[in-house]
Amino acid sequence: MKIGKLYLLACIPVLCLACGSRDTGIGTTAPDGGNASRAMKQSNSPGAEYTENAEKPATIVLFLGNSLSAGAGVDPANAFPALIQHRMDSLGWNVQAINAGLSGDTSAGGLRRIDWYLQQHPVRILVLELGGNDGLRGIPVEVTQNNLQTIINKARTANPNMEIILAGMQIPPNLGQDYTRAFQKIYPTLTSMENTHLIPFLLEGVGGVDSLMQRDGIHPNESGHRIVAENVWSVLYPVMEALHSRK
């Protein structure tokens, strides 16, 4: 367990309370409070024009997450979902990354928001980056796992062929070793039960490294996001390559 690298995450609950999610339901406004048309593409994405003008519809990759996906404290163009978009553009793939990251969001918040995105977009790949705030708030592990499983079920109902990637998280032992161990098992358990893909630890190589974190000691800086993007890419690339080869 990499608890030594994660002592810095103990401060996140304060940030979460200050940056709570703003779910507004389904309508012309995205559930993160943004304009729906803006939510349809990654901010400052270099691939946006390409995908809009492509003859075939773009493959949609949805990043449903919290402040890590949202890129809190950095330019959205330098957050890891945008860096992933750059990678896919460089390969000439007709792919559109949608950043549905919302600072302070929990698995319950993601569950409230997922329907809106599934109704707006034909999502082909879901990168599910939620649960870390649940653990830091001491939400019962069973509740978090059930919320994530329900999000997966909703995604599969919308598209039975949807590929789902879970971004694993870990928490410090503030709430006791039993809770910490139980939380750590959520992601591999769901991966096995629901036949998803797994990023073992999203912040691998970043958490606890001062040079890769912002001054708050909580969020990755631009250099940190580049490493997080590599962690995501190592799992996402084989999935994307398999889809691309079928076309």
**Among the options 23, 45, 107, 219, which is catalytic?**
219
Is 67 noted as a catalytic residue in this protein?
Answer: yes
Query: SS3 letters for the chain?
Result: CCHHHHHHHHHHHHHHHHCCCCCCCCCCECCCCCEHHHHCCCCCCCCHHHHHHCCCCCEEEEEEECHHHHCCCCCHHHCHHHHHHHHHHHCCCCEEEEEEECCCCCHHHHHHHHHHHHHHCCEEEEEEECCHHHHHHCCCHHHHHHHHHHHHHHHHHHCCCCEEEEECCCCCHHHCHHHHHHHHCHHHHHHHHHCCEEECCCCCCCCCCHHHECCCCCCECHHHHHHHHHHHHHHHHHHHHHHHHHC
**Among the options 75, 178, 210, 216, which is catalytic?**
216
End-to-end CA distance of the chain: 40
Q: At a CB cut-off of 8 Å and minimum separation 6, what does 184 contact?
A: 1, 170, 171
Sign of the CA dihedral running 141, 19, 168, 240: positive
**Among the options 21, 67, 69, 107, which is catalytic?**
67
Using alpha carbons, select from 170, 162, 22 the residue that is nearest to residue 105: 22
Is 121 noted as a catalytic residue in this protein?
Answer: no
Is 223 noted as a catalytic residue in this protein?
Answer: no
Which are the catalytic amino acids?
67, 216, 219
